[in-house]
Chains A and B, each alone.
Chain A
Amino acid sequence: MASIIDEDQALVAAAAAGSKQAWVDLVARYESRIYNQALRLTGNSADALDLMQEVFIGVFKNLHRFRGESKFSSWVFRIVHNKSIDLARRWRPPVQQRQFEDTDDLALLPSASANEPDERLVQDRINMQVQALLAELPIEQRLVVELKIFQSQTFEEIGVLQDISENTAKTRFYSALKKLKNVSEKNYAMP
């Protein structure tokens, strides 16, 4: 049985050779992962969808450049990383002003009906809180947290990706944690 990495390589090679079906399969395989990354980085669904679309356009245009020296998922995240910086430079995420506000929970329900709607609702609420927390960080720190906490990359890998030293990556991560801690304490402090 072929591994996920091998399947990715095969799909990329086929899509680069002009197979539309391979491209559709590749999109189906990665759209949820990229959307969730984008959601954490942008803080709202509309921007996340736009970012996801831009990422896939970037992936499609550069399919022929993928050499298979790294994992396809890492290569894709590098594109997510660069596109999210571009997006952050263009506008500020609107979620910053509505963190922890009372929101219409029904509006957060995903299109695909989950098996247990109540659990999904609770999970979406938790995700909203994480988005609101991350939105407090500048994009450089948010990306380090994304890479470290959600992508499990080492500080050395983060340094290479962001073109900074390993120690700078550690410092950014430490600053991000301190800020997140302060924001959490402020939001959950008793009045």
Chain B
Amino acid sequence: MQCPETARCLPAYVVDELVPSERETFEAHLLGCGECSAELASFAGVKNALHAWSDTPLPASAAAHRERVRALAGPVSSRGTVNESRWPKLNWWQWAPSAISFVLLAILLVDARFLATDDGFSLSFGGQDNANKTTGAEEMISREEVQQLITRLEQRQDQNTIALMQAVLSQTRESNEASFQQLFAFFEQQRLNDLEQVRASYDQLASSDFETLRSLQQLASYVSFNESVR
């Protein structure tokens, strides 16, 4: 049976975490408890084995991990030092093309215009003034032109529609004529077939009547022959 003091006090005693009064009490218990003494000895061995650990340097394969970790705060030189400036120093030929492109883009965006006249130089932005200089007559002319274009477009659309309808009608008429001719031919052929069938039926009926008459004649001759024998 396990001593209750083992689990209660031994772990803290091994790592020297008992208060002095508890330590004295437990040490007195150890003198009379073989189980706790043996457990303490084995635990001390384990503790010593663990304490034999000595920190080992990072392996060579740690270089990549180290660089990634250092780079969290930004690019790092191969010597492990960093440039504190947030903006790297650039030569003029590195930033000049970008700067020129930026200026040209800005000019395009604001529609800047530079005019040299007898009165001097002037700089304007946006092109709003020029737009306001258009006269009312120019606006009217442009409206008439637009109206003419619309009228011409409508006329052209009408002509196209008429031509299309004519083509459809013509095709429909031709189609109807062909259909009537085919129908007439069909009925005519049907009529001829019917006549042929009627003629064949009369011939068959006449032939049948002839056979019947001959049979009656034979029967009559047979009866007359039998009467004569009696």
Q: Could you tell me which A residues sit within 8 Å of B by CB distance?
A: 15, 18-21, 23-24, 27-28, 31-33, 35-36, 39-40, 45-46, 49-50, 52-53, 56-57, 60, 110-112, 114, 123-124, 126-127, 129-130, 133-134, 145, 148-150, 154-155, 170-171, 173-174, 177, 180-181, 184-185
- For chain B, which range describes its interface: under 10, 10 to 19, 20 to 34, or 35 or more residues? 35 or more
Across-interface contacts of A130 in B (CB, < 8 A): 49-50, 52-53
Whether the pair A181, B56 counts as a contact (CB closer than 8 A) is: no
Additional 17 contacts, C-beta under 8 A, given A39-B56, A127-B56, A170-B12: A24-B70, A27-B66, A35-B56, A36-B56, A52-B69, A53-B65, A53-B68, A56-B72, A60-B72, A111-B57, A111-B62, A123-B54, A123-B56, A130-B52, A181-B42, A184-B49, A185-B42
The 9 A-B residue pairs whose C-beta atoms are closest, nearest first, are A111-B60, A20-B82, A110-B57, A23-B73, A20-B73, A56-B69, A174-B11, A112-B57, A36-B55
In contact, A24 and B80 (Cβ under 8 angstroms): yes
A15 near B12: Cβ-Cβ < 8 Å: no
Which residues in B have some Cβ–Cβ distance to A below 8 Å?
A: 7, 10-12, 14-15, 17, 42-43, 45-47, 49-62, 65-66, 68-70, 72-74, 76, 80-84, 86
Contacts A130-B53, A180-B46 given; does A49 touch B62 at CB 8 Å? yes
Complex CA distance for A36 and B57, rounded to whole angstroms: 8
CB<8 Å pairs between A and B, sample of 7: A20-B83, A23-B72, A49-B62, A111-B58, A129-B49, A149-B51, A181-B45
Q: Given A53-B65, A177-B11, are A110 and B72 neighbors across the interface (CB < 8 Å)?
A: no
Contacts of B66 in A (CB 8 A): 27, 31
B15 contacts A148, CB within 8 Å? yes
- Give Cα A49–Cα B58 distance, bound, in whole angstroms: 9
Cβ of B223 to closest chain A Cβ, rounded Å: 124
Q: Is the interface of A mostly helix, strand, loop or mixed?
A: helix
Report the separation of the CA atoms of residues A133 and B7 in the bound assembly, to the nearest whole angstrom. 21
B142 to chain A, nearest CB (A): 61
Q: Are the C-beta atoms of A149 and B59 separated by less than 8 Å? A: no
A145 near B73 (CB under 8 angstroms)?
no
The answer on a CB contact under 8 Å between B58 and A110 is: yes
Residues of B within 8 A of A155 (CB): 11-12, 17
Q: CA A145 – CA B43 in complex, angstroms?
A: 12
